[in-house]
Amino acid sequence: MAVDMKIPPVGESITEVTVGTWYKKEGDHVKMDDVLCGLDSDKATFELTAEADGILHILAQEGDVLPIGASICTIDDGGSAPAPSPAAEPAKAETPKPAEQVAPAPTPAAEPVTAPVNTGASVIEMKVPAVGESVTEVTIASWSKKDGDQVALDEVLCELESDKATFELPAEAAGTLRIVAQAGETLPIGALIAKIEVGAGAPVSAATPAPQPVASTPATETPSSNGQNGYAAHYPSPAAAKILDEKGVNAQEVQGSGVGGRVTKEDALKASPAPAQPATPPAPVAQPAAPKPAASAPAPAPVAAGGRNQRREKMTSLRRTIARRLVAVKNETAMLTTFNEVDMKAVMDLRNKYKDKFKEKNGVGLGFMSFFTKAVCVALKDFPAVNAQIDGDQMVFNDFCDISIAVSTDRGLVVPVIRNAEQMSFAQIEKEIVRLAGLARDNKLTIDQMTGGTFTITNGGTFGSMLSTPIINAPQSAILGMHNIVERAVVINGEIVVRPIMYLALSYDHRIIDGKESVSFLVRVKQILEDPARMLFDM
């Protein structure tokens, strides 16, 4: 009977896929779990594996777009399974003679493939776990283990990178690791990422050489369908294919290191772009053809002499999300920015006076962020619209202050949240900032630690910024930008004096915050910082 192979569900938001490369041909004899083809969705690439042994009949061609549940091929098992063996025997009866195999070799060759699976070993499928309500896909950042490695229970296999945080994937059992998805691939939640063969350690290792003689024998039959490296030899992953296209390298010339010989992203990055560079000299060849721009001929010469190399890197999930959200904020909010300046002398004098005793008592330094956080919390109580947000056609006002602090990391900008900052002391705020910043730089922040803020503070002054217009951290309605402190000449009581001045910038959503409120809020923050004693008396 024929087994109808259909497009499997690959994610909640994915309704259709595109048929990628077929690794098997019409009429090929396939085995259970053989990879038949690749399926491309708008988020990731998946492999379709055979559900039975038998003869493959392809229904959809490469490039066809099919909905989830549509038939893509059939596998004729049952009586057709033995048919290929006698059909293959006459062909092999000629070829195996010079080789050291006998005509019935194909039949026993197929047995070792199934033997290791059935000799007491079980396979545990490792799937992408749910890492948060708003996270629908993750990218494999790096593998800590290699394909075929022996892994222990709870041993870290790889790092998964979402648009908000990085997670570690531990092994669910001890056994032999079989990697399904390569580093750099983006997978939806619940997608198969790896398999672990549990039990019968010797047969599992023996299963590795077993497929090789099987692959070598059919290689004399159909070298185009089964290369020496396996079913996917010289077939690039989507990320690798893009890189190879940009380099102008033929995938058939690249030796793949992935499963079945598949060309991975790393293989593509290592591939020599030699064919691409000779393509540039033809430009000077084309220029002499035009007699008029003869003077422009010398121009390419110095360009070629200098270094003009380019390199491309795929955007991480975090970077893609940052880009998408920032553009969305600019397009979906009525964002304005108001500025003011604050004399930091009072804060600096107070900090210099007590910073040593503060650190000795609390074990943490006294920085400017705690002053700004407390000042913002006081001002937010006076102007609740700045602490509010829009939800549809409603305004949501918060009677608490969850202050988001922007932290720069190697992966990009993350914004952990200080919960109920209005109830915290200076020491508690400083300790929380240090703790969250450390987690951010170690990529250990959880999604809960980065969601739910009501107002954001960003300090570009640490990098030397004098003035900027920060972008709102949606769905919040305002963000305060701090800048560097510079000694400037100012007039106080009719006299010119030198004071440490910082420019402040408040970007806000004009849909919910009026100009009067935004300016008054920033003036309130200025008053508190220039006279910190106001925080003691709530004035």
Catalytic residue positions, numbered: 510, 514
Q: Contact, 249 vs 222, CB < 8 A?
A: no
**Which has the closest alpha carbon to 417: 448, 386, 441, 396?**
448
**Which has the closest alpha carbon to 244: 274, 224, 223?**
274
Contacts of 238 (CB under 8 A, 6+ apart): 20, 40, 45
Q: What is the DSSP letter of 227?
A: B
Q: How far apart are CA 27 and CA 225, in angstroms?
A: 11
CA dihedral 81, 82, 84, 90 (to 10 degrees): 170
Q: How far apart are CA 404 and CA 383, in angstroms?
A: 18
CA-based R_g, the chain, Å: 32
Q: Contact, 177 vs 198, CB < 8 A?
A: no
End-to-end CA distance of the chain: 84
Q: How far apart are CA 250 and CA 254, in angstroms?
A: 7
Q: How far apart are CA 464 and CA 483, in angstroms?
A: 7
Could you give the angle at the alpha carbon of 263 between the alpha carbons of 257 and 269, nearest 5°? 95
Q: Is 475 exposed, middle or buried (0-12, 13-18, 19+ CB in 10 A)?
A: middle
* Kind of pairing between the strands at 403-405 and 455-459: parallel
DSSP bridge partners of 486: 501
DSSP string, 145-172: S-TT-EE-TT-EEEEEE-SS-EEEEE-S
- For residue 475, whether the previous peptide bond is cis, meaning omega lies within 30 degrees of 0, is yes
Q: What is the DSSP letter of 52?
A: S
Beta strand residue intervals within 78-136, DSSP E:
122-127
Q: How far apart are CA 331 and CA 248, in angstroms?
A: 37
Q: Contact, 273 vs 248, CB < 8 A?
A: yes
Q: How far apart are CA 84 and CA 79, in angstroms?
A: 10
Structure token digits, residue 48:
């379709």
Q: How far apart are CA 347 and CA 5, in angstroms?
A: 70
